[in-house]
Structure formats: structure tokens, C-alpha cells
Amino acid sequence: MRARTVRVCTALAAVVVLATVVVGVATGSTADVLAGVLSLAAVGVGFVVVREQPTSAVGPAMAWCAAAPLTVVLVEALAQSAEGASLPPGASLAQAISVGIWPLNVAGLVALLLVFPDGRRPGWPWRAVPVLLLSATGATVFALWGSRQVGGEVVGAPSGPARVVAVILGLALVATCVGLGVASVVQTYRHGDERRRLQVRWLALAGVVAAALLVAGWVAEGLGAPLALAYTPHLVAIVVLVPAAVGVAILRHDLFDVDRLLGDTVSALVTAFASAALFGAVVLVTSRAVGATSEVTTVTAAFVTALFLLPVHRWISSVVGAVVDHDRHVAVAGVERFAADVRAGHREPEEVQAVLRTAQRDPGLTLALVRVDGAWVDPQGVEVPEPDGVTVASCGVPIARIHLDHDTARARRRVADLATAAWVPIEVSRLRLGLRGAVAEAEASRARLVEAVAEERVRLERDLHDGAQQQIVATGMRLRRLQRDLDPVLAAEVDTVVADLEETVRELRRLAHGVRPARLDDGLGPALEAVRAASPVPVDLVVGDLPPADETRTVTAYLVVSEAVANALKHARARRIDVEVGSSGDRIAVEVRDDGVGGAPVDGPASLRDRVASVGGQLSVESVAGRGTTVRAVI
């Protein structure tokens, strides 16, 4: 609609409401004044919507929800003035049509249903509604032309089959228009996005309350209550609650958790009607079955109703929640399936953040976990600042927090339900993250100790070579110089001492080589070549490109090959040995194969396994009896 047309239509509705108040004051009708004052809420919401959405038809439709019934009130007031001495202009016509124009009462409501929440629907069924409603009004005016309403009853209505058919036709057309309006809203809900669905739920909330108050009015009227008392709550809901719900839906659809409000409202109403039905059934059965007095039947009915009220309410809440908030129900069910898969070992708990993002439909959702030391980390273990959001706790102690990119009351309630369903994967991922951190710290600490021991060994070897060994050699040389001037007996004694010193030097060299193989001075390749040359059986040695490695890893690789070759010669009775050394990423890969008898322990020698593990490596042994042995290590 054009912005000017929207403003004019809304202003006309305001004129009708104000005119009703003025006429009510002039005629002394308190009911008309009250109806006009209450209708100002709908008109006010209409103007607010027009200001926010200048081209939307929702604003004027909202205003005419209140103005349309008041138009009928003004016509009735004009008709009553025809009974006076002087006839205002149009009074006779108003008196003739006042009873038959009642379909106009729903004109504003039908218009609102057709355009809510974002404008007029395309398609011929919706365009036909105004024509059908005008036809319904024409049919009822024709059927009730000239009649009057006295004491709540219609008198003076024309008779005849045509009039009866016109009344039936009018009722059918009005019901069709209302049905098409409801179908329009249902279609919007089914084919709309998340925003439109939330807006429709606000309207449904108001509609449910208004419908419940209408039913309550019927019950009150049946019990003998005056019409004004019976239906006033319903009318107040129509002119106050519906405009408020529409205003919130259009302007701030995510202000409150409408799913919770709607679900709790429907659950409470259904529970109330079920309790009333149960109470009445118990009273009827008790009075007829045992002929008890009214006091006994009332007490029995109250006891039975109270006994079943809580479980019935819980069951109804669960069913209504699955119907009203189907998306949340499906999302929670999906997270529960993921948690079941985690417990069964089919999925990893670290996937929980991605699962929550999908279920919440929030790609910016982040999950932060609380480490044992109190620091906040992401699922990969990277420290992050303490986030805000929904806290997940275990026995009152926070273990995680979920931060929402789209943060609303409804989103917080939904993610809280999802977090409850995902509690086990969240806690398991947190504990596994802490365990991995502890293992990594233990491995790093062990690696630092191994590196320190290696450095200490190198220092010790250097000290032995440059210190004690050189001093002993120097002492032997001095003794040889002194030996020249000694007699033969003492010279022979010096020979013995020098021989002991030479043996001591050889022992020191053996000790130094045991601390660190001297063959590694020229690198890992030449050292392994020396091992191959010293083997009594053929050894096929292949040394590929090696990654940069520190002293500790180089020594470990050398010792793995040396011990594997020694074991093949000593225990496997091998006739041929194949050795391959290369790279696996940034690690050294070692493989030693022999054609011996096999049957070696698959976990390998404990000392070798511990040495490889000390540098963060992995050792595996494959040994089948009669097929030889293969030792693999990644260092």
C-alpha cells in the first residue's frame, strides 16, 4: 500500500474511535465510552506500526480491528436517535440496517489475518475475501431489513424463505471469510522463515487467550451471569491483548520467549478444561453409583482431580511443547541422539560445538570450557577470555559457557535446553581436553629431562676426553722420560705402571663411547654404515633424506637400529637383515626387517620401548613365527 493511503486509513479508524467516545458521552452510554477508550490501544498500536512500517497494511488493519465494531455501535446509536422527535440525517437508514450489519464486526479482524505480518497475500482466494464479507453483510441486511433489537432479541424481522436463505448465506460467508483469514495465517506460518513464525506465534498467543475467554463467557452465560459480565473479559482481550501482541510481533518479536508463553498458556488452559471435565465426571459417577451426598461427591471429585492434576499437566505440557515449539523439540531430540552416539562410541564428544551450532541455527555460537586450573579454553584447548552467555554447571560448579551470536531470551532458553541434552559430551570433552593437556605436559617434561640427560652425557664425554684422559696420557709420557735414567729393575716397574695407565685410558674411552657412540660424530648415516660393516650377515642399508633432528633423536634412532640388528643376530638366527631409515613428516622413520625364526615379543624390549617413548616416538614389532621380525619406530 502507499504510505499516504496507510496513514489515511489509520486516521479514519482513529476518527471512528473518538466519535464513539463523543457519542457515548453525549448519550450517557458508559458502555460506549468504555469501548471507545479501550479501543484507543488498538489505534495507538496501529499508528506505531505505521510509523515503523509506513507502507505496511498491518497498522491500519490493527486500528480497524477496534474501529469496525465501533462503526456498528455508531450506526446503532444513530438508529436509536430515530425514535426521537427530530430525525438526524440518515437515521431512518441506520434504523433499517443496524441489526443486519453485524458482519462488519469482524471486518478488521479478517483484514488483520489477511495482511499479518508483512502485507497482503498474493492469489485470488485472499482477494476474494473483501467481496465475500461485503456480500455477507448485504445478505444479512436484506434478511433483517427494518428489524430492531429489543432486550437482546430481534423483533420485526421480515419473514419468508428468501430471508431465511439470506441469513444462512450471510452466516456461511462470514464463516468462510474468517476461515480464509485463519488459513492465510497458517500458510504464512508453514512457508515463512523463523522471524515470520515467531510473529505468528505472538498472534496465536493472543488468539488462544481470547478464544479461551470466549468459551469462559459461554459457560458464564449458561450459569446465568449477565451478558456484560460474561463477555467483558473476551472483549478486553480483543481490543487490548490482541493489539499488544501484534505490536510486539511487528516491532520486537524476540522481546520475550513467545514459545514458552504460548506453550505454558495452552498447557494451562488444556489442563484447566481437563481438570474441570474430570471433576464433573467424578461428581456424576459418584452421585449415580453410590448415591452419595453433594458434600461427599465434591470432596471425592476434588481429591481425584488433585491426584491426577500434576501428572496430567506434565504430560499435556510435553505434548503441547512438541506441537507449539516443534523446532525446539526437534533440535533437542537431535542433540540427545548425538549424546547417545557419544555414549555408544560412534561419535567424538569434541563435535559438540558444531552440533550445538546446527541445532541452535547460530553459526556464531561458541563453546568455552573450564580447565582444571580455572582457565577458559575453546574445544581445541586454546585459552580464551572468559565469555558471557549460558553457563553449564556440574553440581553447581561451572564447567562450560555457551556464547550466542544472536542473543535473545528465546535463544537463551533454547540453548539452555540444548546444553542440558549435551551435558555428557560437554563434560567428556572437557575431561579429555584436560587429560590431553596433562599427557602433553608429561611428555614435554620427559622430553626436557631426556634432553638434559643427553646434554649431560655429551658434557661428561667431553670432560673425560679433555680432562682425565689427557692428564693420564701426560702422566704416562712423563714416566717414560723418567724411565731413561732408572736402573733396569725400576725401569721394568715403570713399564708396568705405564701399561696400567694405558689400560685406564682404554677403559675411559670405552666408558665415553658408552655414554654416546663416537660413530655419531660424522652423522647418523656413517654411524649406521659402521653397524652394517660390522655385521657378520648381509645387511641391506638404505638411508633416505632425514629431517633436522637434535642429538637425542639421532642417538635414539642409532640405538634402535643397533639393538634390532643385534637381536636379529643373537636370537633370530637371521641370514639377511634389511634396514631403512628415512623421514615421516618432521620425524625420523626407522624399519629393521630380518628373515629369522620370528616369534619375538610384539611389545619389543622394554628399554628400547622406553627410550623411544621418552622422545615422544612410537615403537611397534611384528613377529610371526617362521616369517621373521619387523621393528618399526617413528622418532
Got the DSSP string for 207-223? HHHHHHHHHHHHHHHHT
Q: How confident is the model at residue 400 (pLDDT cuts 50, 70, 90)?
A: very high
In the chain, the amino acid numbered 38 is: L
Q: Are 467 and 544 part of one and the same domain?
A: no
**Type and span of the H or E element at 411:** helix 409-421
What Å distances lie between residue 455 and 428, 442, 510, 516, 550, CA to CA? 40, 20, 19, 10, 11
> What is the per-residue pLDDT for 102?
83
Neighbours of 9 (CB within 10 A): 20
Q: Are 480 and 556 part of one and the same domain?
A: no
Using one digit for the tens of pLDDT, what is the confidence trace for 59-100? 898 898 888 888 988 888 888 776 655 566 777 888 888 888
The mean pLDDT value for 109-125 works out to 80
Q: How confident is the model at residue 444 (pLDDT cuts 50, 70, 90)?
A: confident
Q: Are 534 and 620 part of one and the same domain?
A: yes
Q: How confident is the model at residue 239 (pLDDT cuts 50, 70, 90)?
A: confident
Quote the CA–CA distance of 16 and 127 in Å, as a whole number: 25
**If we measure between CA atoms, which residue out of 493, 472, 473 comes closest to residue 483?**
493
Q: Are 550 and 622 part of one and the same domain?
A: yes
Contact 527, 519 (CB under 8 A): yes
Using one digit for the tens of pLDDT, what is the confidence trace for 478-499? 887 887 777 777 878 888 888 8
Look-up of cell digits 456424576: 284
Among candidate residues 71, 98, 125, the one where a domain is terminated: 98
Q: Which cell numbers in the block locate residue 588?
A: 625420523
Quote the CA–CA distance of 450 and 529 in Å, as a whole number: 26
Q: How confident is the model at residue 307 (pLDDT cuts 50, 70, 90)?
A: confident
Q: Are 482 and 559 part of one and the same domain?
A: no
Q: Is residue 482 one of the residues assigned to a domain?
A: yes
Q: Is residue 464 one of the residues assigned to a domain?
A: yes
Q: Is residue 354 one of the residues assigned to a domain?
A: no
Contact 55, 1 (CB under 8 A): yes
Quote the CA–CA distance of 275 and 293 in Å, as a whole number: 21
- Strand pairing report for 153-155 and 366-370: unpaired
Q: Is residue 510 one of the residues assigned to a domain?
A: yes
> Looking at the whole model, is its pTM more than 0.85?
no
- Helix, coil or strand: residue 595: coil
Quote the CA–CA distance of 285 and 282 in Å, as a whole number: 5
Quote the CA–CA distance of 192 and 198 in Å, as a whole number: 10
Quote the CA–CA distance of 165 and 161 in Å, as a whole number: 6
Contact 190, 179 (CB under 8 A): no
Beta carbons within 8 Å of 407's beta carbon, 6+ residues apart: 389
CATH number of the domain enclosing 622:
3.30.565.10
Mean pLDDT over each residue of the chain, to the nearest integer: 82
The mean pLDDT value for 506-521 works out to 65
Report the percentage of the chain scoring pLDDT > 90. 11
Q: Is residue 22 one of the residues assigned to a domain?
A: yes
Look-up of cell digits 515470520: 196
Q: Are 508 and 529 part of one and the same domain?
A: no
Q: What angle do CA 305, 309, 310 make, to 5 degrees?
A: 150
Quote the CA–CA distance of 98 and 148 in Å, as a whole number: 8
Q: Into how many domains does the chain fold?
A: 4
What Å distances lie between residue 450 and 61, 116, 514, 597, CA to CA? 81, 74, 16, 34
Quote the CA–CA distance of 448 and 444 in Å, as a whole number: 6
The mean pLDDT value for 418-427 works out to 91
Q: Are 479 and 574 part of one and the same domain?
A: no
Structure-model confidence comparison of residues 578 and 223, the more confident one: 578
Among candidate residues 38, 68, 98, the one where a domain is terminated: 98
Q: Are 445 and 532 part of one and the same domain?
A: no
Contact 365, 404 (CB under 8 A): yes
Q: Is residue 216 one of the residues assigned to a domain?
A: yes
Q: How confident is the model at residue 329 (pLDDT cuts 50, 70, 90)?
A: confident
Look-up of cell digits 446465568: 224
The mean pLDDT value for 206-212 works out to 80
In the chain, the amino acid numbered 461 is: E
Domain containing 20: what range?
1-98
Q: Are 568 and 553 part of one and the same domain?
A: yes
**What DSSP state is assigned to residue 466?**
I
> What is the per-residue pLDDT for 593?
92
> What is the per-residue pLDDT for 32?
83
Q: Is pLDDT above 60 for 588?
A: yes
Q: Is pLDDT above 60 for 292?
A: no
Q: Is pLDDT above 80 for 8?
A: yes
Neighbours of 511 (CB within 10 A): 13
**If we measure between CA atoms, which residue out of 120, 16, 25 comes closest to residue 75?**
16
The mean pLDDT value for 206-215 works out to 80
Q: Are 491 and 556 part of one and the same domain?
A: no
- Strand pairing report for 629-634 and 618-623: antiparallel
What Å distances lie between residue 404 and 399, 428, 430, 452, 512, CA to CA? 17, 22, 19, 47, 63
- Helix, coil or strand: residue 363: coil
Q: Are 546 and 585 part of one and the same domain?
A: yes
Among candidate residues 229, 256, 283, the one where a domain is terminated: 256
Q: Is residue 32 one of the residues assigned to a domain?
A: yes
Quote the CA–CA distance of 553 and 561 in Å, as a whole number: 13
**What DSSP state is assigned to residue 87?**
P
Q: Are 450 and 526 part of one and the same domain?
A: no
In the chain, the amino acid numbered 7 is: R
Quote the CA–CA distance of 379 and 366 in Å, as a whole number: 9
**Type and span of the H or E element at 147:** none
Q: Is pLDDT above 90 for 468?
A: no
DSSP-derived secondary structure for 48-75? HHHHH-TT-SHHHHHHHHHHHHHHHHHH
The mean pLDDT value for 402-408 works out to 86
Q: Is residue 387 one of the residues assigned to a domain?
A: no
> What is the per-residue pLDDT for 277?
79
Using one digit for the tens of pLDDT, what is the confidence trace for 13-50? 999 999 989 988 888 888 888 888 888 888 888 898 88
